[in-house]
């Protein structure tokens, strides 16, 4: 055998290997639905159901409900308006990265690429979907954000989008929306909180949603040539730039930021929620979750965050509580009733404080206190067509031991505007009532919050809660803070001189 | 090359600091992938105090070695040619002291640190479902019925995905869609450092009596774990325990 021949053989071998390899890759990309079924039954069926109909044991506890794969409708796709179904890449991405703001987790940390491709093949088979779409959304030439583009985008947004997403994009418009699967209730996205966008808040992804729409929901494709609302590529980029510009960063929860930073004011406290004095006060955002610890429990809240500010002077303390709620729930109001799915209740918010500021770590139980550690609850309600807004003070030593006082020494006044509640509560720092917590400057004091969305069936024990956080009435810095470090510096310098002198003498 | 004793002191101190600050977390990461276990600052300060004392002891153990260590300091203090350096050092040290004092006396919004025991020692007996249980000898009664193991695990899964997953996670990783709202955050079951270290009777006790059933060192006032004996039957708790062990590939501790 001569060298040439060996080389040729090697070459042949390599080509064969490459062919086998590429064939395997192509096969892997398609995924094996039988292998996918095994993974599905271990990981996915609990929510999406054993037949893929979105009816697993967890389904009733979720909002949004898990996807029904038997319908073949997929919300998030990059295929264009002519193609009702997604690319396999789109499904693969949702499995890998999950969907923010829902219970769908990202699976790329526990499932291999192969497992996830097999899942894609299996969930497609549940609706008999085959093949790939014919064309992607056309992105044209991306237009960068600028004041001019945002202005154009805003005009288009008010004209095309505000009907559902609201004048300020908080998803608060007055329309009752349903999905195409089982007529489940849907709410338009609050666009000022992009960190909760299901897929991502990347401009390209927002562009994709505007172009492809969200199948199964009332969100249309703005590429539909038959629609009067059709947008050109350029117009879509303007809308994207507007949407990314209305982000409300103050509403974003910052990990580790757990303290309400009460600021001391020299003069009068703010008069109402819109007082200019609130502007310079630092806010803290807290996550709200369903009340799942005591009967009746609540699993599907509509509000996921509350933002809190506080100020105080010699006499009083005032809180400003702000949260995005898509509906102003007014029992007795026909229009408000129309938006509710069942019974319509008042919206409400509450602050919980321990009666005694803990000296050590031990606090009252965070759910309405406990028998040896009572709590105060200030409970504001939004009122009905027949009754005004109201605020009550409650003394509680546990879920079953809540007493409402006849007279409230807390004032509360709220105002609803375009998808946001703002409620101000005021109380004297010190009171004569031994059952009241007495505020003290400079002491970390536990505080917790709760909200009720009356349109979402929230009432009584069905509401959102937080765990214990802190409030600190930060005392004015004063002269001590400057004086002590100067004294220390002086002493150290004196000691240095002494050491130097004794060293030089020797 | 011979390095001066003072530089050696500085090098050893910095080296020890870096080991505690970086090498220890790297080892931790290697043992428990996905984590970056830092040494708490208060502990770090204590370790550093001992380490510095040890280094000083070592460097001053011999007379000439001690002299060598001190000589550059002495030179800086006395040598007229090092006047400039001396002045700079004399200015910097009091400023540094003032800064450290300032940061400890200035009021700050940094929340107090709260410590709690994650797996507090269980009581030897507990009152659950109005019955007294000896937790040392309590066994999962369903484990003996090996023929129905798969059925119990599946039923336990249904209990889990109706009651537990919104905190403990779809992936049993402690990151359900409500996890961010609670402190302490829900316990993950995957990996080998949580339920694998616990006996099944401990799991039963923790589930049945929930957060309020914790002893004081477990900070029962903070835990959002519901008192499950109010919501689930005994059998359901044993089944869900079987499910979380099965799903995570762990076995209950039996010794």
Residue A141 lies in a domain: no
- pLDDT class of B225 with cuts at 50, 70, 90: very high
Residue A134 lies in a domain: no
Nearest to A466 among B109, B169, B181 (CB): B181
| A353, A397, A488, A506, best to mutate vs chain B, most B CBs in 10 Å | A488
**How large is the greatest C-alpha to C-alpha distance in chain A, in angstroms?**
107
Across the interface, whether the CB atoms of B181 and A480 are under 8 A apart is answered: no
Residue A386 lies in a domain: yes
Q: Is A310 helix (H, G, I), strand (E, B) or coil?
A: strand
Classify domain B125-248 at the CATH topology level.
Cytochrome Bc1 Complex; Chain D, domain 2 (1.10.760)
Interface of B with A in 131-190 (CB under 8 A): 157-158, 160-162, 165-167, 169-171, 173, 175-178, 180-183, 190
CA atoms within 13 A on the CB side of A114: 9
Across the interface, whether the CB atoms of A58 and B222 are under 8 A apart is answered: no
Residue A259 shares a structural domain with residue A397: yes
Q: Is A88 helix (H, G, I), strand (E, B) or coil?
A: helix
**Over residues B117-138, mean pLDDT:** 89
Residue A140 lies in a domain: no
Which has the higher per-residue pLDDT, B119 or B150?
A: B150
Q: Is A377's pLDDT higher than 90?
A: yes
The ipTM value here is 0.88
Instruction: Express each pLDDT in A42-76 by its tens digit.
Output: 999 999 999 999 999 999 999 899 999 999 999 99
Residue A381 shares a structural domain with residue A426: yes
**Over residues A162-178, mean pLDDT:** 92
Nearest to A299 among B77, B166, B221 (CB): B166
Residue A334 shares a structural domain with residue A427: yes
Residue A302 shares a structural domain with residue A432: yes
- pLDDT class of A13 with cuts at 50, 70, 90: low
Residue A331 shares a structural domain with residue A420: yes
Kindly report the CA angle at A295 between A290 and A299, in degrees rounded to 5?
A: 25
Query: Looking at residue A27, what is its pLDDT?
Result: 46
**Over residues B194-209, mean pLDDT:** 93
Alpha carbon of B127: minimum distance to chain A alpha carbons (Å): 19
> Residues with Cβ < 8 Å from A389, sequence gap 6 or more?
A380, A381, A382, A383, A412, A413, A414
Q: Is B47's pLDDT higher than 50?
A: yes
| A46, A55, A101, A253, best to mutate vs chain B, most B CBs in 10 Å | A46
Residue A72 shares a structural domain with residue A23: no
Across the interface, whether the CB atoms of B170 and A46 are under 8 A apart is answered: yes
Asked, as a colleague might, if the bond just before A64 is cis with ω within 30 of 0, I would say: yes
Q: Is A506's pLDDT higher than 70?
A: no
B107: contact with A, CB 8 A cutoff: yes
Q: Which of A97, A126, A155 is the last residue of a domain?
A: A126
Separation between Cα atoms, residue A424 and residue A309, nearest integer Å = 9
CA atoms within 13 A on the CB side of A469: 28
Separation between Cα atoms, residue B47 and residue A504, nearest integer Å = 35
Residue A488 shares a structural domain with residue A466: no
Interface of A with B in 252-311 (CB under 8 A): 253, 258-259, 261, 287-290, 292-295, 297, 299
Separation between Cα atoms, residue A162 and residue A173, nearest integer Å = 7
Which has the higher per-residue pLDDT, B86 or B36?
A: B86
CB pairs under 8 A between A and B: 156
Separation between Cα atoms, residue B225 and residue A195, nearest integer Å = 28
| B117, B155, B221, B232, best to mutate vs chain A, most A CBs in 10 Å | B221
Which has the higher per-residue pLDDT, A334 or A502?
A: A334
Could you tell me the sign of the dihedral formed by the alpha carbons of B221, B227, B230, B231, in that order?
positive
Query: Looking at residue A145, what is its pLDDT?
Result: 96
Residue A265 shares a structural domain with residue A376: yes
B117: contact with A, CB 8 A cutoff: no
Residue numbers in A near B115 (CB within 8 A): 361
| B74, B86, B169, B170, best to mutate vs chain A, most A CBs in 10 Å | B170
Determine how many CB atoms are found less than 10 A away from the CB of residue A107: 21
- pLDDT class of A175 with cuts at 50, 70, 90: confident
Separation between Cα atoms, residue A31 and residue A40, nearest integer Å = 13
Query: How is residue B96 written in tokens?
Result: 């540094």
In chain B, CATH 1.10.760 covers: 125-248
Across the interface, whether the CB atoms of A103 and B107 are under 8 A apart is answered: no
Residue A491 lies in a domain: yes
Instruction: Express each pLDDT in A68-126 by its tens digit.
Output: 999 999 999 999 999 999 999 999 999 999 999 999 999 999 999 999 999 999 999 99
In whole angstroms, how large is the CA radius of gyration of chain A?
30
Separation between Cα atoms, residue A354 and residue A468, nearest integer Å = 10
Which has the higher per-residue pLDDT, B5 or A461?
A: A461
Residue A159 shares a structural domain with residue A279: no
Residue A98 shares a structural domain with residue A151: no
Instruction: Express each pLDDT in A407-458 by its tens digit.
Output: 999 999 999 999 999 999 999 999 999 999 999 999 999 999 999 999 999 9
> Residues with Cβ < 8 Å from B223, sequence gap 6 or more?
B184, B210, B211, B212, B214
Residue A462 shares a structural domain with residue A494: no
Instruction: Express each pLDDT in B144-160 by its tens digit.
Output: 999 999 999 999 999 99
A490: contact with B, CB 8 A cutoff: yes
Domain CATH code at residue A228: 1.10.760.10
Domain that holds residue A186: 147-245
Residue A131 lies in a domain: no
**Over residues A314-324, mean pLDDT:** 97
Separation between Cα atoms, residue B221 and residue B214, nearest integer Å = 9
**Residue B44: which of B26, B27, B19 has the closest Cα?**
B19
Interface of B with A in 1-40 (CB under 8 A): none
> Residues with Cβ < 8 Å from A430, sequence gap 6 or more?
A438, A439
Residue A132 lies in a domain: no
Residue A133 lies in a domain: no
Tokens 């990996």 label which residue? B191
Residue A314 shares a structural domain with residue A371: yes
Nearest to A467 among B95, B166, B222 (CB): B222
Domain CATH code at residue A334: 2.60.40.1190
Number of domains in chain A: 5
> Residues with Cβ < 8 Å from A81, sequence gap 6 or more?
A211, A212, A213, A221, A223, A224
């Amino acid at each position: 055998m001569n060298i040439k021949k060996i080389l040729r053989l090697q070459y042949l071998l390599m080509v064969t290997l490459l062919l086998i390899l590429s064939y395997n890759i192509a096969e892997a990309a398609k995924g094996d639905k039988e292998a996918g079924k095994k993974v599905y039954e271990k990981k996915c069926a609990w929510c999406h159901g054993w037949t893929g109909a979105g009816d697993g044991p967890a389904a009733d506890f979720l909002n949004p409900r898990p996807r029904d794969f038997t319908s073949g409708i997929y919300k998030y796709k990059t295929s264009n308006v002519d193609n009702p179904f997604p690319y396999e890449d789109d499904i693969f991405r949702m499995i890998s990265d999950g969907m923010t703001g829902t219970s769908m987790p990202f699976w790329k940390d526990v499932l291999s690429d192969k497992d996830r491709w097999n899942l894609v093949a299996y969930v497609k088979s549940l609706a008999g979907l085959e093949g790939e779409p014919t064309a992607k959304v056309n992105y044209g030439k991306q237009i960068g954000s600028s004041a001019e583009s945002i202005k154009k985008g805003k005009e288009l947004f008010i004209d095309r989008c505000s009907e559902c997403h609201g004048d300020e994009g908080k998803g608060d418009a007055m329309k009752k929306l349903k999905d195409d699967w089982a007529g489940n209730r849907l709410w338009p996205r609050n666009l000022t909180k992009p960190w909760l966008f299901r897929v991502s808040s990347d401009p390209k992804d927002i562009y994709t949603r505007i172009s492809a729409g969200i199948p199964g929901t009332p969100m249309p494709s703005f590429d539909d040539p038959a629609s009067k609302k059709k947008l050109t590529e350029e117009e879509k980029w303007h809308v994207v730039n507007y949407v990314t510009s209305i982000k409300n960063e103050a509403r974003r929860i910052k990990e580790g930021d757990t303290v309400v930073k009460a600021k001391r004011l020299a003069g009068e406290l703010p008069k109402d929620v819109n007082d200019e004095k609130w502007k310079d006060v630092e806010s803290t955002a807290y996550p709200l979750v369903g009340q799942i610890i005591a009967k009746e429990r609540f699993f599907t809240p509509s509000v996921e965050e509350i933002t809190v500010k506080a100020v105080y002077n010699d006499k009083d303390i005032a809180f400003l509580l702000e949260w995005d709620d898509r509906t102003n729930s007014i029992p007795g109001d026909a229009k408000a009733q129309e938006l509710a799915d069942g019974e319509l209740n008042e919206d409400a918010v509450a602050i919980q404080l321990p009666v005694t500021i803990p000296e050590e770590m031990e606090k009252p139980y965070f759910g309405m206190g406990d028998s040896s550690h009572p709590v105060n609850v200030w409970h504001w309600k939004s009122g009905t067509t027949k009754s005004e807004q109201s605020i009550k003070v409650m003394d509680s030593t546990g879920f079953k031991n809540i007493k409402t006082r006849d007279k409230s020494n807390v004032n509360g006044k709220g105002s609803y505007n375009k998808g946001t509640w703002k409620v101000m509560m005021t109380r004297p720092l010190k009171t004569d009532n031994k059952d009241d917590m007495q505020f003290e400057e400079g002491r970390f004091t536990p505080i917790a919050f709760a909200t009720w969305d009356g349109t979402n069936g929230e009432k009584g024990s069905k509401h959102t809660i937080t765990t214990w956080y802190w409030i600190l009435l930060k005392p004015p810095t004063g002269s001590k803070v400057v004086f002590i470090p100067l004294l220390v510096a002086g002493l150290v310098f004196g000691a240095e001189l002494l050491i130097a002198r004794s060293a030089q003498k020797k | 090359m011979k390095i001066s004793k003072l530089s050696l002191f500085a090098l050893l101190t910095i080296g020890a600091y870096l080991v505690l600050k970086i090498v220890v977390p790297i080892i931790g990461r290697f043992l428990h992938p996905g984590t970056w276990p830092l040494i708490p600052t208060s502990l770090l300060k204590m370790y550093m105090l001992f380490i510095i004392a040890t280094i000083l002891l070592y460097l001053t153990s011999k007379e000439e070695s001690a002299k060598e260590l001190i000589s550059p300091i002495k030179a800086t203090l006395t040598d007229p040619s090092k006047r400039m350096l001396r002045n700079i050092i004399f200015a910097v040290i009091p400023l540094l002291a003032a800064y450290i004092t300032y940061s400890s006396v200035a009021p700050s919004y940094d929340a107090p640190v709260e410590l709690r025991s994650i797996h507090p020692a269980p009581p030897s007996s507990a009152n659950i479902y109005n019955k007294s249980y000896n937790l040392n000898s309590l066994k999962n009664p369903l484990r003996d019925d090996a023929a129905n193991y798969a059925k119990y695990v599946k039923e336990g899964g249904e209990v889990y995905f109706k009651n537990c997953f919104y905190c403990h996670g779809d992936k049993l990783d402690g990151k359900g869609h409500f996890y961010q709202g609670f402190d302490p955050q829900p316990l993950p079951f995957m990996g080998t450092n949580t339920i694998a270290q616990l006996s099944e009777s401990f799991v039963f006790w923790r589930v049945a009596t929930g957060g309020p059933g914790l002893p004081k060192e477990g900070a029962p006032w903070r835990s959002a774990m519901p008192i499950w004996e109010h919501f689930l039957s005994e059998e359901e708790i044993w089944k869900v325990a079987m499910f979380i062990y099965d799903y995570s590939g762990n076995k209950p501790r039996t010794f």
